[in-house]
Amino acid sequence: MKKNAISPTRAENYAEWYQQVVDAAELAENSPVRGCMVIKPWGHALWENMQRELDDMFKETGHRNAYFPLLIPKSLLEKEAEHVDGFAKECAVVTHHRLIHAADGSLIPDPAAELEEPLIIRPTSETIVGVMFAKWIQSYRDLPLLINQWANVVRWEMRTRLFLRTSEFLWQEGHTAHETESEAREEATRMLDIYTRFVEDYLAIPVIRGVKSDSERFPGAIETYAIEAMMGDCKALQAGTSHFLGQNFAKAAGIEFQGRERGTRQFAWTTSWGTSTRLIGALIMVHGDDDGIVLPPRIAPAQVVILPIHRAEDARAVVDEYVDVVASRLRSLRFSDRRVRVEIDRRESRGGQKQWAWIKKGVPIRLEIGLRDKESDSVTLSRRDRESSEKMSVSLVDLPETIMSLLDQIQRGCFERARQFRSENTRTISHKSDFEDFFRPQVEQQTDARGGFALAAWCGDKACESWAKEALNVTIRCLPFDQSHEDAGSGCVVCGKPRSTVALFAKNY
């Protein structure tokens, strides 16, 4: 029987499998601070790669980075009523600016240093950005204003899961202001396009693009666009979101400018958009298997790991020298417009143990190099997306071409497998009983459980949406842009009233 590196397997207990993969790949762990995680070097390197690719895409489309304060005065948050209601119940409140020793010697917040107005740790920055935009934007000539921020945010969570739901997380938040409504709508769509391209082409995760229903919309937005991905347990995860904010925040913050026509004053149209370290959770759940995480090459911190094998002490120097030759040859290659990332693991531990460490960490290609390989001018290659025992010998001459072609093949393979899986677990459903059957008997934490993505007609009524949530714990993930699902029926899958739209229903993270 095949033994797996991760226990339990996905089929045995998906939630626990996830936790074990995060642990085994050394991606992150819980901290002594309630709800806050520590992102470990391997997880952080993944995030850095995501940051670099996204940042380049943002800059190519004219955005520039800035940094806004971590702390937001309560009164600022209150300016947009819907917005504050959305975040007030889960925010960290700073009330004092000093600790002093109490009579018993312990430290307490100094009553003499209580803030006149509490400060909120940003759950998102629309309000504080709005105040600054109001200062910076005086004329239509100052528009569009296209800003992005890489930052940490805090949204208090009672039940947390590494990467997926933590009180503090890292993200980027774009904030833009435009002269006209159509320009702002275009921007919101453009950023969703960028997220789509990044998530599909780099993370190798296929997504469904659409607009959120009223109840899932960002607090204060007119329209929220999102990309939704299917995880390995058939649940949905929102992989990126972009909001058309209309003039709501502009009016709240007074982002008003001199229009093109003399003497006219008008409010700006704004957008905001974000992705976060949640994407690492998505990577794990889309590509991971029972041996750990599987990293698409374009995002992997190391695309190739070299494991020198020292059997005879007197051959050590020879092997090491050969390893350096191989590494530098590979590092001179470029894949996806970056230098190929090669790691050499010279640690003194058993070969098998080292192999498995890198399997669990998801590195696409492993090269074992011992004296025999050196003597035959070759390397022994294995792939993360094949059985660990499946090895092939590649001559040094062929190595660059082989590596380039394999990285490309593995990248496309990741995407294709994910697309195949999603397709197998997506149904177009037109009857309520089928809808219930699809979701209801699902035994949680079994990959072979039923459920998945259901495309079904919806009348647009909140009551039907609530019914799905309450009866089946299923929500509308989005109203897909692609509405070409004729077989979804003409009547709402819940109440039978005329269809207003096709909705994507699923359980979700």
50 binds a second copy (CB under 8 A): no
Rounded Cα distance between 114 and 94, Å, is 9
Q: Could you give the angle at the alpha carbon of 483 between the alpha carbons of 479 and 487, nearest 5°?
A: 110
Instruction: Write the binding mask 149 to 188 for a second copy: x where contact by CB under 8 A, - elsewhere.
Output: --xx-x-x-----------x-x------------------
Query: Could you tell me which residues are beta bridge partners of residue 99?
Result: 109
> For a second copy, how many residues bind (rule: CB under 8 A)?
63
The region of 31-39, 209-217, 390-398, 402-410 touching a second copy under the rule CB under 8 A is: 31-39
417 binds a second copy (CB under 8 A): no
Distances (CA, A) of 430 to 105, 236, 489: 68, 20, 5
Rounded Cα distance between 484 and 459, Å, is 16
The region of 35-43, 292-300, 409-417, 426-434 touching a second copy under the rule CB under 8 A is: 35-43
**For residue 141, how far is the Cα from the chain centroid?**
35
94 binds a second copy (CB under 8 A): yes
- 319-348 residues in contact with a second copy (CB under 8 A) are 348
Asked if residue 53 lies in contact with residue 199, where contact means CB atoms within 8 angstroms, the answer is no
Of the two residues 31 and 490, which places its CB atom closer to a second copy in the complex? 31
Other residues' Cβ atoms within 10 Å of the Cβ of residue 112: 8
Query: Could you tell me which residues are beta bridge partners of residue 211?
Result: 225, 479
Binding residue (CB under 8 A) for a second copy from 13, 68, 409, 496: 68
392 binds a second copy (CB under 8 A): no
Of the two residues 145 and 208, which places its CB atom closer to a second copy in the complex? 145
Of the two residues 156 and 467, which places its CB atom closer to a second copy in the complex? 156
Binding residue (CB under 8 A) for a second copy from 25, 50, 54, 128: 128
Rounded Cα distance between 221 and 43, Å, is 32
Sign of CA dihedral 215, 217, 222, 228: negative
Rounded Cα distance between 221 and 271, Å, is 9
The region of 93-101, 227-235, 359-367, 401-409 touching a second copy under the rule CB under 8 A is: 93-101
65 binds a second copy (CB under 8 A): yes
Of the two residues 71 and 392, which places its CB atom closer to a second copy in the complex? 71
Other residues' Cβ atoms within 10 Å of the Cβ of residue 287: 23
102 binds a second copy (CB under 8 A): no
254 binds a second copy (CB under 8 A): no
Of the two residues 116 and 470, which places its CB atom closer to a second copy in the complex? 116
Rounded Cα distance between 219 and 475, Å, is 17
Rounded Cα distance between 155 and 205, Å, is 26
Of the two residues 116 and 390, which places its CB atom closer to a second copy in the complex? 116
Of the two residues 105 and 484, which places its CB atom closer to a second copy in the complex? 105
118 binds a second copy (CB under 8 A): yes
Q: Which amino acid is at 332?
A: S
Helices 181-201, 41-60: inter-axial angle, 10-degree rounding: 140
449 binds a second copy (CB under 8 A): no
Distances (CA, A) of 134 to 131, 187, 249, 267, 412: 5, 19, 10, 10, 45
Query: Given the rule CB under 8 A, which residues bind a second copy?
Result: 29, 31-33, 36-41, 44-45, 47-48, 64-74, 76-78, 84, 88-100, 106-109, 118-121, 128, 131-132, 135, 141, 147, 151-152, 154, 156, 168, 170, 348
